[in-house]
Structure 1
Amino acid sequence: MAPASAAVKPAIIEAKAVSVVFNGSAAVDRASVAIHPGRITAICGANGSGKSTLLKCLSGLEAPTRGAIQLAGQSLSGLSRRQIARQVAVLGQNPETPAGLNVEELVEQGRYPHRPWLTRLRGNDRDAIERAIAAVDLKDMRQRQLASLSGGERQRAWVAMALAQEPQILFLDEPTSFLDVRHQAELLTLLRRLNREEGLTIIAVLHDLNQVIEFADDVILMKKGQVLSTGAPADILTPRSLSDAFGCKVDVIPHPHTGRPFCLIDWVGHDGGSDRAGDH
C-alpha cells in the first residue's frame, strides 16, 4: 500500500458523468471518477456491473454516450488513437496469442505508437524493447514461441509489449484470470514493482477482493453500471458495501497471520440451507 502520508497528485484521468448505453440499457450510468498518477486503482463489482466498460472508456477504447473524460488535462475525445497510445497501454481479457510470433516479436509490437508506418526499428525502439523484456524477466525466453509458454509467462510477455509503449498508464482487464495461484502472485508482484519503482500508474479490473486489499491504493466499487464509492480499500471494502455490491454476505476480518483486513464470503448463509449465496 502507498504510504498514508504521500501527497495525492492531481488526477491524470478524470471522468465526469460518463454513461455508456447499449440497446437502450446503460452499461455505465453517470460515472464520475478520478485516477491519480503513480497509484494502483482497482475496479471491483459483480459481473455485469460495468467494470470492463468503464475501463474501456477511461482508456479511450470505448467512446461514452454521454459525459466527458480528460487525459492529462486534454479531452480524450480530441486525441488520436496514436496520441492516446503514447500515454496509455491496455491489456484486455485473455488476449489472443498471434500465431508464429516469439516473445521479442510480440514486444516489438508495442513500439507502433512511436514509429512512422512501415519503418524499421530505431535505436530508441530497441532500447525500449530491451528494457521491457528485462523488466518482466524474459530475457532467456525472448526467442521462444508464445504458444510454447506457460500462462504466466505468456501474460508477462503481454505486459512487456505494453511496457515497450513506454506508457504513463497501464490498464488491465482481469489480468489474473486463467492463471494459477502462483502465477497470479507473480504477476501482481511484478505490477506492483513497476508501480513502486517506475511510477507506472495502473488501473485494473480485479475480482479477488483479497488481491485488491493487498494490491491497490484506491478502489472504484461498482453496481449495475453506477459507481457506489471510491477511496482506499480499507474505507471502501466494508461488509455493508460489499454485501450491497455483490448480493451476498461478505465479512471483513483481521487476517490470522498478518492482521490486515481479509474478506471472508459466507457461501452458504447463516440459515444453514443448501442454496449458495451467489444463486440468489
Structure 2
Amino acid sequence: MVAAEAVDVSVVYEGTSALKNVSATMFADRITCICGANGSGKSTLLKCLAGLEKPSTGEVRLLGQALDVLPRRKVAQQVAVMSQTPEIPLGLTVEELVEQGRYPHRPWLGRLTQRDLALIDSAISRVNLQSLRRRQIATLSGGERQRAWLAMALAQEPDVLFLDEPTSFLDIRHQAELLTLLRKLNSEEGLTIIAVLHDLNQVMDISDDVILMRKGEVLATGSADDVLQSHLLQQTFGCQVDVVPHPDGTGRNYCMIDWVGSGPRSRISAAT
C-alpha cells in the first residue's frame, strides 16, 4: 500500500526552484529516509508530503487521496510531524504536551474521554517517560524532549509519522535511543515512518527505502540496498564515499567518508 506520493512536484521560492518535478513513492509499514546535501530539497519534500508546504505545481497524495482536497482535520488525524527544532512550550508538562496529540480527534471544546486518557498514558509509556510526565518540557534534556514530542505524535494515532532530522541536536547515546525506538514502533506496531536524516550510517541501520536528493531533484529512489551505493552517494554529496562491510561480521555495510581528500588519516566512518 502506498502511504504517501509526490507526483511531478515543484516548489519555487521567489523565482528559485527548491524542488523540480519530483516524483517519489513511500510505502506503508516501512521506514523511508530522505537524504541529500544541504539545500538539496529534502526538507521541502518532507513538508510537501506532510501537508505543511503547498507545491507550486504537481500533486501530493496521502493514503491514495489527493492531499489538497482533504480537510485539515482529517490530515491531522492521519499524519503526525516532528519538526527539526520544535519550539519549547513554556510552563507545559510532558503530560500536557502529549494531551495535545488528541486535539484532532476531539470535538471542539470537548473533554478528554477515557479512551483519550488511555492513549495518552500509552504514548508516554511507549517512549519511557512515565517518571517525567509531571515535569515541565523546558527542564528536560534534549533526548527527553524529543521523546516527549514523539509521545505527542503517537497520541495522535497517526497512519504516517514524518520526522525532519530528529537526531540533529542529540548526543550519540540519545540518537541511538531515539532511532531504536523508531525502529521498534515500525517493526512491532507497523507505524509508517518517513524521515529526513543526515547520518548515512543511521540511514543504513534504520531504513527500508531511501530517496536521494540532489539540487532539488530525485537522484535515486528504491530499497536501501539498491540506493546506498558508493557511486550514487558520491554524486549526492560531492565527496568520496565508500560503502564497505561492517567489521562486526554480520553482513551489514557502513559508510566511510574522505572528509578532505588528503589520504588515509582523513577517512572516518561517519556521514553528514
Matches within 5 A, 1:109-148: 109-148=100-139
1:4 matched to which residue of 2? none
Provide the alpha-carbon RMSD of the alignment: 1.4
1:191 to 173, 182, 203: 182
**Secondary structure at 1:12 match in 2:** strand
2:261 matched to which residue of 1? 269
| Structure 1 residues without counterparts, runs of 5 or longer | 1-9, 275-280
Deviation of 1:270 after TM superposition, in Å, equals 4.8
2:158 counterpart of 1:161: no
Deviation of 1:150 after TM superposition, in Å, equals 1.1
Is this contact kept in 1: 2:3–2:192, CA < 8 A?
A: no
Deviation of 1:268 after TM superposition, in Å, equals 2.3
TM-score calculated relative to the size of structure 2? 0.95
Counterparts of 2:107 and 2:264 in 1: how far apart (Å)?
Answer: 64
Deviation of 1:142 after TM superposition, in Å, equals 0.5
Is this contact kept in 1: 2:101–2:154, CA < 8 A?
A: yes
Is this contact kept in 2: 1:91–1:172, CA < 8 A?
A: yes
**Secondary structure at 1:162 match in 2:** helix
1:55 to 36, 46, 53: 46
| Structure 2 residues without counterparts, runs of 5 or longer | 267-272
2:36 counterpart of 1:41: no
Counterparts of 2:122 and 2:46 in 1: how far apart (Å)?
Answer: 27
Letter in 1 for 2:229: T
1:233 matched to which residue of 2? 224
1:90 matched to which residue of 2? 81
2:202 matched to which residue of 1? 211
Counterparts of 2:97 and 2:107 in 1: how far apart (Å)?
Answer: 18
Matches within 5 A, 1:5-24: 10-24=1-15
Counterparts of 2:31 and 2:265 in 1: how far apart (Å)?
Answer: 39
**Secondary structure at 1:47 match in 2:** coil
Q: What percent identity do the matched residue pairs reach?
A: 64
Counterparts of 2:106 and 2:54 in 1: how far apart (Å)?
Answer: 25
Deviation of 1:234 after TM superposition, in Å, equals 1.7
Deviation of 1:267 after TM superposition, in Å, equals 1.1
Counterparts of 1:273 and 1:145 in 2: how far apart (Å)?
Answer: 45
Deviation of 1:120 after TM superposition, in Å, equals 1.4
**Secondary structure at 1:63 match in 2:** coil
1:5 matched to which residue of 2? none
Is this contact kept in 2: 1:94–1:177, CA < 8 A?
A: no
Is this contact kept in 2: 1:28–1:225, CA < 8 A?
A: yes
Aligned residues: 265
Which has the higher mean CA deviation after the structures are superposed, 171-180 or 130-139? 130-139
Deviation of 1:246 after TM superposition, in Å, equals 0.5
Counterparts of 2:35 and 2:164 in 1: how far apart (Å)?
Answer: 11
